[in-house]
Structure 1
Amino acid sequence: MNKSQKVLIAGTGVSGIAAARLVLERGGEVVLYDGNAALKDETLKANFEEGARVNVVLGDIKRTDLLGVELCIISPGISLDSPFVAVVDDAKIPILGEIELAYQCGCGRLAAITGTNGKTTTTALAGEILKAKYEETFVVGNIGEPYTARVLEMTDNSVTVAEVSSFQLETIMDFRPNVSAILNITPDHLNRHKTMENYIRIKECITMNQRPGDTVVLNYDDPFLREFGQSPELAPKVVWFSSRESLKDGFCMDGDNIVYRENGRAEAVADVRRMKLLGRHNYENVMAAAAIGREFGVPMAEITRVIEAFQPVEHRIEFVRERTGVRYYNDSKGTNPDAAIQALRAMPGPTLLIAGGYDKNSEYDKWISEFPGKVKHLVLIGQTRDKIAESAKRHGFTEIMYAEDMKEAVQVCAVYAEIGDSVLLSPACASWGMFKDYEERGRVFKECVMEL
């Protein structure tokens, strides 16, 4: 963006407020918009210094609200099919996302991570690995802190690791990571992206501005990504990782060890028995993070040290407590069936599974096919509970109970669990409707577990 522009910021969540502050810091003027007419002007303006050049518009947007506006920064939560976007498009105002604004205003080198699952763990681990070499390391994006919130602190010596969603990739223009990573692609957010082909295309857009000399880290085991990585039109260098294949070049498994192979030589990365991260999917996350670290010049000995010390991210197969011989795990970040599959596979024994939530038009058959020999009881909550129950019954699984809220779900599991069992919250669904976000859902689960 240019300084002194009048910018429409659509969305008043954390990323929207951070983007507005960045525009103001650069000398611009802000029109802060939210479709929720019940919000209060004074509450929103309290996020800024007194006298800041901020005008608030709530409810329906009108063409007159856009007078003088030269640019729109849109929240990733607003669909590009929304009536709001139609009004902005009709006014011929360019639309960018928060990560594009941050990229255009920021400096230093950038690693960007996307994929259906594993983004948060990989981003957090990659950030810790880069901190071992670089004093100015920023970890931003969906992981918690908006990219725009840290831009003004960045210098040419900075390195930034950004977790990037498909919603954010829809609105990039010049966004160009030095190193990108696509961890995997499985069906998700089809209520937003409509088709799997469109969802795949958007994920792969993370590389669209990369050039020779840049790098993309890809999952060799993912058929979509294997085909993409072998395309002659792909500009950046490809670094592969695989938890199932023995690669000639790239990161892969050798027994219980993660190794990096190049030109016939193998270098040890980590012994999975020394790691605190559980499950094969986490071995893949570790490989991707190690690949990013290596591309940024972090010595392998430092990468190994960080990997072995790294603790699981909150809400992602997070151990909560053991009570009367039963272990409780919080996987609230498991917001789609594939993520929930990985959590279930990581459980050490018989499992009582709490699932259900907001319907993202997901199909649950593949997830439910993992239940035999693993899931003892399925406790369902939320909007999708009937849909999941019907799918489970079609697969012959009938140990199903309903709960009205998280407290009841946890209490039911505590009653039916036996010594050696695990209780797992891994919903396979979004949290909306019952909770503000997956983080609130996870916190409520942990509170209920600790109250037992």
Structure 2
Amino acid sequence: METKRIVILGAGESGVGAAMLAQKQGYDVFVSDFGGIADRYKTVLQELNVSFEEKQHTEALILNATEVIKSPGIPNTAPIVKALVKSNIPVVSEIEFAKRYTKAKTVCITGSNGKSTTSLLTYHILKNAGLNVGLAGNIGQSFAAQVATADFDWYVLEISSFMLDDMFEFKADIAVLLNITPDHLDRYDYKLENYAASKMRIVQNQTENDVFIYCADDEETQKALKFTKTLAKQYQFSIHKKIEAGAYLADENIQINTHPKDLFTMSISELALQGKHNIYNSMASGIVAKVLELRNNTIRESMGNFKNIEHRLEFVAKISDVTYINDSKATNVNSTWYALESVGTDVVLIMGGVDKGNDYAMLKDLVRSKVRAIVCLGKDNKRIHEAFEDDVEIIVNTFSANEAVQVAYHLAKKGNTVLLSPACASFDLFKNYEDRGNQFKAAVKEL
């Protein structure tokens, strides 16, 4: 029998993880990356004895694949992907591929904002409750690599819309959809309904034995649900109204009532994660925990002692009574809205970068009421100037993290907050949002 040939496009965390698993399963494996491959990933591929190429896609070595595993970052409009589709070669995500080789159950978390925080919090609660659980997807070590090398009973998977687009047979045991707001619209023909349809794929293949958790207050989710059929048991969460099955806010307390005789209550002041959006994130994680019938004390303790993710509303320093916050992970307008919503007034906002077709209108009210100056950090800041020139008196252009921090330092007064929350991708001046956040933190520490 001929060995099946698996070709992997993209040699980052997910691609190299997929190579590990594919090789373990006895496939003939080839990895191709149109860019350069990081040394640490090259080393792994060499140790596995997997052949690879970089800085090119050689069609002759790719179009003979039985199946292709594609990195989520590669759009379907890429010439090599179009050629694969034309040749009728199946293209799937690493998540889809890895799930075939594990019996572990999955909690899959998606949404435009809050998915990393909610995934980490959910993982933290499950781990503290003694479950044998892994964390993967858009966060941490690749799912395929863990399926190849570990033996977990549960996985918490952070799932992006790009991953969902290449998932077909995959089924989430527990699916969580936090919210749907305009993001990555350049990949969805600039149509919000296309992006929303992508997010709703989180419930595909679910049966009546599975669970779907979503936000009752999110307008776009409610709209998308009208076009979505699911057999899964549904739980909602809201901070505005009482929910019959799920979570809601009553007198500053989160109430979770998935089981009629076992109500979970916790004051929002005790939550490790503060800010309105984090009440939603905590509710979603709490429902997952209650569905799994974890003990109330464990859930309460975990929600109270959780440490949040780096680069997401991360406190950096307080210098001369000015607070510096790193929210470099805010790569879309809605994330910046959440950040502004959760900090006090008198903000010097550092924003800008690669604009993904952003509509800044939703920020205008918050900028008008809270922001005293905007420091642009990016090669092209024209659209930010146009959007906010009537709302703030000072808008300054800068072209490095160091320069942005120096300018913000001079603009800020006692009691102010300097907030890096870019609303844009980082690739014009930085390797990625982590690099941007780290350079910001280093510049603050030099003040």
TM-score by length of 1: 0.93
Whether 2:420 is the aligned partner of 1:425: answer yes
CA gap 1:58/1:242 in 2 versus in 1, 3 angstroms:
same
Q: Deviations over 1:277-329 (max 9, x none)?
A: 22100000000011111122212221111001112211111111111111111
Whether 2:256 is the aligned partner of 1:260: answer yes
The one of 187, 206, 209 equivalent to 2:182 is: 187
Deviates more, 1:108-117 or 1:236-245: 236-245
Large movers: runs of 4+ above 4 Å: 40-45, 227-232, 262-266
- Corresponding residue for 2:325? 329
1:343 Cα offset (Å): 0.5
Q: Per the alignment, in what secondary structure is the counterpart of residue 257 of structure 2?
A: strand
Q: Per the alignment, in what secondary structure is the counterpart of residue 368 of structure 2?
A: coil
Cα distance in 1 between the residues matched to 2:159 and 2:437:
21
Superposition map of 1:75-224 within 5 A: 75-155=71-151, 158-194=153-189, 195-224=191-220
Q: State the aligned residue count.
A: 446
Deviates more, 1:396-405 or 1:167-176: 396-405
Cα distance in 2 between the residues matched to 1:41 and 1:124:
26
CA gap 1:388/1:57 in 2 versus in 1, 3 angstroms:
closer
Q: Per the alignment, in what secondary structure is the counterpart of residue 217 of structure 1?
A: strand
Q: Per the alignment, in what secondary structure is the counterpart of residue 337 of structure 2?
A: helix
CA gap 1:198/1:55 in 2 versus in 1, 3 angstroms:
same
- Corresponding residue for 1:48? 45
1:218 Cα offset (Å): 0.4
- Corresponding residue for 1:35? 34
Deviates more, 1:227-236 or 1:276-285: 227-236
Gaps of 5+ in 2: none
Q: Deviations over 1:112-168 (max 9, x none)?
A: 00000000000000001111233421011112221112112454x611000000010
CA gap 1:51/1:385 in 2 versus in 1, 3 angstroms:
closer
Q: Deviations over 1:325-350 (max 9, x none)?
A: 11111111111111101111111231
Superposition map of 1:262-277 within 5 A: 267-277=263-273
CA gap 1:445/1:44 in 2 versus in 1, 3 angstroms:
closer
Q: Per the alignment, in what secondary structure is the counterpart of residue 236 of structure 2?
A: strand
Cα distance in 1 between the residues matched to 2:445 and 2:245:
46
CA gap 1:214/1:42 in 2 versus in 1, 3 angstroms:
closer
Q: Deviations over 1:196-236 (max 9, x none)?
A: 11100000001011111100110000123234456783211
CA gap 1:266/1:46 in 2 versus in 1, 3 angstroms:
closer
1:352/1:417 contact within 8 Å kept: yes
1:66 Cα offset (Å): 3.3
1:130/1:293 contact within 8 Å kept: yes
- Corresponding residue for 1:16? 15
Cα distance in 1 between the residues matched to 2:119 and 2:39:
36
The one of 440, 443, 450 equivalent to 2:438 is: 443
1:272 Cα offset (Å): 1.5
CA gap 1:248/1:136 in 2 versus in 1, 3 angstroms:
closer
Cα distance in 2 between the residues matched to 1:55 and 1:372:
52
- One-letter amino acid of the structure 2 residue matched with residue 335 of structure 1: T
TM-score by length of 2: 0.94
- Corresponding residue for 1:71? 67
1:430 Cα offset (Å): 1.1
- One-letter amino acid of the structure 1 residue matched with residue 6 of structure 2: V
CA gap 1:238/1:229 in 2 versus in 1, 3 angstroms:
farther
Cα distance in 2 between the residues matched to 1:281 and 1:95:
35
- Corresponding residue for 1:372? 368
1:57 Cα offset (Å): 6.0
1:44 Cα offset (Å): 6.2
Cα distance in 1 between the residues matched to 2:223 and 2:386:
35
Cα distance in 1 between the residues matched to 2:200 and 2:63:
36
Deviates more, 1:291-300 or 1:357-366: 291-300
Gaps of 5+ in 1: none
Cα distance in 1 between the residues matched to 2:346 and 2:385:
20
Identity %: 32
Q: Per the alignment, in what secondary structure is the counterpart of residue 329 of structure 1?
A: strand
- Corresponding residue for 1:311? 307
